Amino acid sequence: MRKRCDKISKNNSKISKFAERNEATVATGAKTEKKSMTKKKKIEIGPGEDGIVIRNTGSSYIVRKENGEEVNCRVKGNFRIKGIRTTNPVAVGDHVLVSKAADDADYITSVSTRRNYIIRRASNLSKESHILAANIDIAALVASLRDPETPTTFIDRFLATAEAYGISAMIILNKSDIWDEYDRELAEGLKVLYESIGYKVMEVSAESGVGMEALRGYLSDKITLMAGNSGVGKSTLINKLVPGANLKTGKISDIHHQGMHTTTFSEMVDMPEGGSLIDVPGIRGFGTIDFAEEEVSHYFPEIFRTSKDCKYGNCKHLGEPGCAVKSAVESHYISESRYASYLSIIEEIRNPEKYRKPY
Ligand code: GDP
Ligand code: ZN
């Protein structure tokens, strides 16, 4: 542990510099589902077959039945989640029952209770939310150190959001083929930092194939949500993990150094070794949940652990006397970049207008 802390400390300034070059660009949220879905609205159609929703096309859903057949379904019944207005009542990853109606059309007639799900606001001003995916084993953030950079605030918001949904998260650092010595050290620093908190970090190059076998092994038999800011190589990575997935890949815009949006709806694809990947559309809107200020620290595990030693029970770690978190940051037991991300979420809660710009 001591060694790890030294290493974190050594890399702290490098990561801080990396963090400083970036700005918080994300906003949104939700919480782990407390209430289960209600189902069972009486319908007058045939017996159901089990299936899993693999694609959401906007107006309908593609369900893969247990026999492997894929059918295009509409929804029959009221599957709304209580207390949340959603644009889609059914999500990719949902286990559903599919029935044929007299007109030969297929309908989703019930949705099984979700283990978890992630949602995001349909748009910045909207009260409606969109369920991006359900029943996820791992939320993986594909990140890149350059071309484009993934800001550490973006990484930390993603991780905090996953914590809030109760989903394990990991980071996939892609494009290792273009790293120079500095980037390799930075990657090592990020790996040490995030693994010390409890998040798996894997370094890969989707292009050259380095690290891909290990990643494949790690993800097999799991349902993994794949997210990432545009241009990091998420589609390339998925295409490599799932030959035939045929996701469109985008060329990085020379002007903005930002990738273009290439997907609109979530989609689940299966890896040949077992396990599935859920590709979610432009994850820029996947960030903080509607956190209450005092909740934020709960989703930064190392801050939460340390906060037990703060002098005041309601300490927000913003400079109060006897704050154990602040002193842990000063002595490099907690990373400055993580603390900066924590502060940026608090700041966003206090000044929502400043942050909720359209993307
Ligand atoms: P997405 O927006 O995250 O889905 O990114 P894409 O998969 O469309 O990739 C964006 C760009 O990055 C494309 O030009 C890819 O060829 C490139 N790219 C993807 N993976 C790698 C990688 O491992 N190394 C390098 N050098 N480029 C990559
Ligand atoms: Zn404190």
Number of helices (H), then strands (E), in the chain: 9, 13
- pLDDT attached to residue 29: 36
Report how far ligand 1's centroid is from the alpha carbon of 130 (Å): 27
**Is 201 within 8 Å of 169 (Cβ atoms)?**
no
Q: Where are the domains of the chain?
A: 136-279, 293-354
Alpha-carbon torsion, ordered 163, 166, 168, 172, to 10 deg: -50
User: Given the structure tokens 């295009």, which residue do they identify?
Assistant: 72
SS3 144: strand
User: Given the structure tokens 């370094």, which residue do they identify?
Assistant: 203
Ligand 1 atom with least separation from CA of 205: 23
- pLDDT attached to residue 251: 47
Instruction: Answer whether 233 contacts ligand 1 (Cβ < 6 A).
Output: yes
- Measured CA to CA, the distance from residue 114 to residue 135 in angstroms comes to 6
pLDDT along the chain (359 residues), means of 10: 50 65 36 42 69 88 93 81 72 94 88 88 68 93 96 94 94 98 98 98 98 97 93 94 76 38 72 92 60 93 98 96 98 97 93 61
- Which CATH superfamily hosts domain 136-279? P-loop containing nucleotide triphosphate hydrolases (3.40.50.300)
- pLDDT attached to residue 246: 73
Instruction: Answer whether 144 contacts ligand 1 (Cβ < 6 A).
Output: no
- pLDDT attached to residue 254: 35
- pLDDT attached to residue 329: 98
Class level of CATH domain 293-354: mainly alpha
Residue 278's Cβ-count burial label (10 Å; 0-12, 13-18, 19+) is buried
Alpha-carbon torsion, ordered 89, 92, 97, 98, to 10 deg: 90
Ligand 1 atom with least separation from CA of 236: 7
**CA of 212, nearest ligand number:** 1
Instruction: Answer whether 30 contacts ligand 1 (Cβ < 6 A).
Output: no
**Is 276 within 8 Å of 224 (Cβ atoms)?**
yes
The preferred substitution site among 235, 249, 254, 257 for testing ligand 1, maximizing ligand atoms within 8 Å of CB, is 249
Instruction: Answer whether 344 contacts ligand 1 (Cβ < 6 A).
Output: no
- Confidence (pTM): 0.83
Report how far ligand 2's centroid is from the alpha carbon of 45 (Å): 58
Report how far ligand 2's centroid is from the alpha carbon of 324 (Å): 5
Instruction: Answer whether 280 contacts ligand 1 (Cβ < 6 A).
Output: no
